[in-house]
């Protein structure tokens, strides 16, 4: 079966200012990379907006109302923290990013496509239960996982995060939820300062810390036990937080991965999903801030989703 690509032009309207690394050009680079003949088999569609009720799968109603109520006018921007801002396009973009996650789950769980990739922004894995941070407003991966449980009866979901920064928001949302497993590789020390391998939540959190300068061998060695833990969990769906900022060219971290490493982890997760849940994968774009490295890495990821 095919792979679904979800995106929306609203995600280009979210703009945190000149020089900000999480910029609209990131999404343009990804979409341009996927607008090639080798990706002609992708099923392409527009991301819908998430409903407030769907956002509440990860966040309390008062938080959802507060974020959706921030509507800057004109060129105004509102700073939520030192590096997370909102402009007039931020709410529509965030609704599309979460909505893409929900729609992807629907399509995959209904068997209409085998896998899905959501090329959207803002990212989501730093958004905590009651706090936006790290360029993120809503915890999109958690929303996807809980939508699968509520709407499709999936009992257990695994969230796999290979972004170079630890997904503290995802972890905070699910650390006390034994029905969702969170597995992450990330550089340590690095923002946001979480991700200690000693923290295991309620037995559902698996963190693998990589030292600055670590490359292919360390990355692949870190994921071997994580994949074994996920397989033992027997999830009905795998959600991927696909960040590409562990690439050697990325300016915000110091890992040394290449496009081939992202192809490898994607193929491994596809093989895992084939063994445990009928191949069902929903992948969400997270970080990646060198435009050429991001484009090449995202293409390698989607190529593996198609071919594995």
pLDDT digits (tens, 9 = 90+) for 80-91: 999 999 999 999
pLDDT at 24: 98
Per-residue pLDDT at 268: 98
pLDDT at 230 over 70: yes
pLDDT digits (tens, 9 = 90+) for 98-121: 999 999 999 999 999 999 999 999
Domains of the chain: total: 1
Closest CA to 160 of 231, 103, 210: 231
pLDDT value for 203: 98
Contact (CB, 8 A) for 44 and 117: no
139 bridge partner residues: none
Q: Among 116, 68, 121, which Cα is nearest to 97's?
A: 121
Average the pLDDT over 167-192 and give the result.
Answer: 98
- Confidence check: pLDDT of 1 > 70: no
Residue-range definition of the domain harbouring residue 292? 3-307
**Which residues are catalytic, by number?**
126
Rounded to whole angstroms, the Cα distance separating 48 from 26 reads 20
Average pLDDT over residues 9-32: 98
CATH of the domain at 222: 3.40.800.20
d(CA 189, CA 169): 17
Nearest to 87 by CA among 138, 21, 29, 11: 11
CA 222/CA 261 separation, integer angstroms: 12
pLDDT tens digits, residue range 116-138? 999 999 999 999 999 999 999 99
Which band of pLDDT confidence, cut at 50, 70 and 90, is reported for residue 170? very high
């Amino acid at each position: 079966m095919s792979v679904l690509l979800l995106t929306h032009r609203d995600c280009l309207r979210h703009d945190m200012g000149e020089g900000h690394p999480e910029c609209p050009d990131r999404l343009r680079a990804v979409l341009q990379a996927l607008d090639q003949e080798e990706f002609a088999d992708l099923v392409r569609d527009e991301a819908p907006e998430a409903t407030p009720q769907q956002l509440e799968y990860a966040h309390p109603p008062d938080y959802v109302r507060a974020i959706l109520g921030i509507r800057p006018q004109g060129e105004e921007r509102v700073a939520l923290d030192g590096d997370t801002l909102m402009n007039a396009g931020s709410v529509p973009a965030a609704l599309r990013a979460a909505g893409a996650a929900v729609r992807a789950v629907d399509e995959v769980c209904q068997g209409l496509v085998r896998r899905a990739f959501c090329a959207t922004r803002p990212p989501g894995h730093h958004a905590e239960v009651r706090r936006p941070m790290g360029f993120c407003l809503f915890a999109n991966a958690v929303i996807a996982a809980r939508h699968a449980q509520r709407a499709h009866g999936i009992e257990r979901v695994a969230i796999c995060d290979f972004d170079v920064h630890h997904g503290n928001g995802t972890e905070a949302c699910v650390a006390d939820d034994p029905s969702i497993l969170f597995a992450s590789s990330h550089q340590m020390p690095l923002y946001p300062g979480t991700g200690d391998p000693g923290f295991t939540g309620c037995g559902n959190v698996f963190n693998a810390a990589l030292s600055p300068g670590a490359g292919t061998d360390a990355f692949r060695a870190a994921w071997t036990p994580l994949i074994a833990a996920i397989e033992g969990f027997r999830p009905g769906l795998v959600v991927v937080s696909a960040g590409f900022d562990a690439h050697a060219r990325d300016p915000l971290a110091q890992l040394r991965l290449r496009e081939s490493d992202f192809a490898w982890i994607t193929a491994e997760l596809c093989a895992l999903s084939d063994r445990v849940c009928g191949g069902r994968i929903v992948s969400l774009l997270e970080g990646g801030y060198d435009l050429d490295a991001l484009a090449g890495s995202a293409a390698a990821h989607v190529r593996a989703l198609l071919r594995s």
